[in-house]
Amino acid sequence: MRVATGVCLGLCSLGAWGCAAEATRFTLVPRDDAAVTSDAGAAGDAVDASDGFAPVPIRDSGAALGCSEAAQLVYVLSQSNELYSFRPNLRQFTRIGVLRCPTSLTPNSMAIDRDAVAWVNYVDANPFGAGGGRIYRVNTTDASCSAAAPVDLPRAFAQLGMGFSTTSADTTEESLFLSATGDPLLGGSAGLARLDPVTLTVAPVGAFTGALRGQNAELTGTGDGRLYGFFTTTPVQVAQIDKRTGRIVETRPLAGVERPSAWAFSFWGGAFYLYTAPDALTQPARTSNVTYYNPADGTVDPAYLTNVGFRIVGAGVSTCAPVAPPP
């Protein structure tokens, strides 16, 4: 997600918080599967499987039973319209390709369903434009756009955060939840909504409550029926959201995590991953950082990955993803 387009001309500098001193080493696997390491986005030496970065199978468990391995990965979307898969436990990104949806709109957010299909929100980058927002469906194997008609979004939800969540802990039925991105000068976010799976229309659920009313959030869901938001307050917060009403169930402020201009959010293996980047106008050399947050023991690591080489505006993970750390 990016700062609300309606205010980015005047308020983008609000996202320019902090910068890691040096990049955390991670692995980037291009399409030819020749793994390379990267520091601050620069290519490094080749790495082979013996270096410990080879992909490992992810065991199905609980609601993940019967899912493909592809449906258990995290996927991220760059501001440059490129799709990557991400294995958080290996700190490994794999480039899939450039999205080829027939639109002049700009990528903003993403969610992944249990069939490993990406649902991608595109918005008008011009704050005075009339392009609105749409959701396209994308094949995560090759980044090709589905022939299915895009979902046209109402103005209040044209730019949004989104994530799938199962109906409960003991079912594989899931819903796509939406969080409106609002202009703080015009009342802020309209809160939570749900995309009707049959009519593909937006059904409002309710405003966020308490101190998070009107605040913008990215969403991620879990295979055991929970829904969470990454709110870009000061400090940023991770909050559990009641899917029936939009009520904030509980929240955890994360001191030390930058307040971003571009951000995304995913849950995987019992932990949350927060993707953040500052305003590109004030810090053009900075790309996204990845923060690891484990709610079980309270661990917060803002330097889990730093300066990964591209700006992440969307992250999605299906409800097939493990809800506990893999063995």
pLDDT digits (tens, 9 = 90+) for 56-106: 344 444 444 678 999 999 999 999 999 999 999 999 999 999 999 999 999
Q: Identify the pLDDT of residue 168.
A: 87
Domains and CATH numbers, the chain: 8-317 (2.120.10)
Question: What residues does 136 pair with on adjacent strands?
Answer: 120
Report the C-alpha gap between 315 and 164 in whole angstroms. 12
Picking from 303, 309, 299, the residue whose alpha carbon sits closest to that of residue 291 is 303
User: Is residue 224 helix, strand or coil?
Assistant: coil
Asked if the model's pLDDT at residue 207 lies above 80, the reply is: yes
Contact 254, 300 (CB under 8 A): yes
pLDDT value, residue 43 = 31
Q: Is the pLDDT of residue 284 over 90?
A: yes
The reported pLDDT for the residue numbered 169 is 85
pLDDT value at residue 31: 54
Q: Please report the pLDDT score of residue 65 as a whole number.
A: 64
| Nearest of 86, 135, 144, 79 to residue 111 by alpha carbon | 135
**Reported confidence tier of residue 47, pLDDT bands at 50, 70, 90:** very low
- Tokens 């023991």 correspond to 297
pTM for the structure as a whole: 0.84
3-state secondary structure at position 155: helix
What is the CB neighbour count within 10 angstroms for residue 39? Answer: 16
What pLDDT was estimated at residue 221? 95
The CA-atom distances, in angstroms, between 59 and each of 49, 53, 69, 85 are: 20, 18, 8, 17
Per-residue model confidence (pLDDT) at position 309: 96
Mean pLDDT (the chain) is 83
